[in-house]
Amino acid sequence: MDELIKQVTERTHISDDQARTAIQTVAGFLMERLPPQMAGQVDAVLSGSAPNLGDAAKGLGGLFGR
């Protein structure tokens, strides 16, 4: 998550704490609305893991109207 915080602070010129809060808010929003297996992937990415999305990524199309 540190890399994401750095990018958010650089692009928005907000503090690290504000960026962390924003990221956690968005992540929480996504995790509440995604299927459980995909929500776990969001958490894994934010914790620095590189998950294997496999078939789970195919479900994103329907989420965005595709």
Q: Which domain holds residue 38?
A: 2-63
Given this model, what pLDDT does residue 18 score? 97
46 vs 6 pLDDT, higher one:
6
Given this model, what pLDDT does residue 57 score? 55
Q: What is the mean pLDDT of the chain?
A: 82
Given this model, what pLDDT does residue 8 score? 95
| Closest to 46 (Cα-Cα) out of 24, 63, 25, 29 | 24
Task: Say how many domains are in the chain.
Answer: 1
